[in-house]
Amino acid sequence: MKRLTLLTLTVALAACARAPQEPPASPAATPTASTPAAPAAPAAAIDTAVLGGHHWRLDNAVDAKGKRIDALFVRADKPVTVDFADGRIAVSNTCNRMMGSYTLDGAKLTIGDMASTMMACVDDKLMALDRAVGERLRGAQTASIQSGATPMLTLTGAGGEVLTFRGEPTAQTRFGGPGETVFLEVAAQPKPCNHPLIPDKQCLQVREVHFDEKGLRTGTPGEWQPLYQDIEGFEHVAGTRNVVRVKRYAIQNPPADAPSTAYVLDMVVESDTRP
């Protein structure tokens, strides 16, 4: 009896010793080193011809959290507009006209400190607009342009703010050339003129004037002539005489009875209520 018990215990211990071990892990389950992420592709370089060939009107602006920056949208009818030309940036539709320098290295746009005119505006929000624009444009930003019928310019600041601008072709782009700079004196009152397409047309009365390198008038003004089209960008106020600097462009293949020349305002040189 004792022998049987001892034999049974011996067999049981041998069976435990031969119990199968856990199967080795499958090769597929063996952890492997993670593959490093591919570096992000560099942003595409900005096409300087497109950048300089458009007026860029602010379309949207959000902070790093995606919240709209309302301080940049003071006048819905006149959005903040930015122009780039020959290393200079100009900002309009703010309280004061602002200007400065910029550099472009691939997609990196760096804008320096900007100067401005010193006109005071009655609207406090419009006065604050200058500061809000200057703070967000100054410094290094990443720029990108989405091409198309209406190109879009996006500026992303170091703090995560994103400004989006809608492009409108400049006059030089539209008319295919730099144009000719001329000075026109615009009389205080328009006069009736015979226009083939517009009955009872009132035409601006203009004459060309000349200035020397010191900004002084020279020579004798020409004769007053009716201007059968508007000066783009110029708003005439009856009773106010102006001298304006304009760009004069030749219109290629104008429609019948349409003018062959276009005038685009560059700046108002003089303005008063003299007759």
Span 102-123, pLDDT tens digits: 999 999 999 999 998 888 888 8
pLDDT, mean of residues 225-246: 94
Alpha-carbon distance 197 to 11, whole Å?
Answer: 119
Alpha-carbon distance 185 to 272, whole Å?
Answer: 11
Residue 8 has pLDDT above 60, yes or no: no
Query: So where are the chain's domains?
Result: 48-169, 174-272
Which tens digits make up the pLDDT trace of 59-71? 999 999 999 999 9
The SS3 of residue 151 is coil
Cβ neighbors of 52 (< 8 A, separation 6 or more) are: 84, 85, 86, 170
CA atoms within 13 A on the CB side of 271: 11
Residue 196 has pLDDT above 80, yes or no: no
Among 166, 111, 160, which residue's Cα sits nearest to residue 133?
A: 111
Buried b (16+ CB within 10 A) or exposed e, 142-161: ebbbeeeeebbbbbbbeeeb
Q: pLDDT at position 215, please?
A: 87
Q: pLDDT at position 273, please?
A: 85
Q: 34-38, 72-76, 96-100, 211-215: which has the minimum mean pLDDT? A: 34-38
| CATH tag, 48-169 | 2.40.128.270
More confident residue, 30 or 191: 191
Which tens digits make up the pLDDT trace of 129-152? 999 999 999 999 999 999 888 999
Q: pLDDT at position 135, please?
A: 92
Residue 95 has pLDDT above 50, yes or no: yes
User: Helices (DSSP H) in 142-198: which residue ranges?
Assistant: 171-175
Residue 28 has pLDDT above 70, yes or no: no
Locate 130 and state its tokens: 């200058």
Task: Enumerate long-range contacts of 257-260, CB under 8 Å, 24 or more apart.
Answer: 257/196, 257/197, 258/197, 259/228, 259/229
Which tens digits make up the pLDDT trace of 240-268? 999 999 999 999 888 877 889 999 999 99
Alpha-carbon distance 150 to 223, whole Å?
Answer: 42
More confident residue, 112 or 33: 112
Residue 98 has pLDDT above 50, yes or no: yes
Q: pLDDT at position 272, please?
A: 92
Cβ neighbors of 85 (< 8 A, separation 6 or more) are: 52
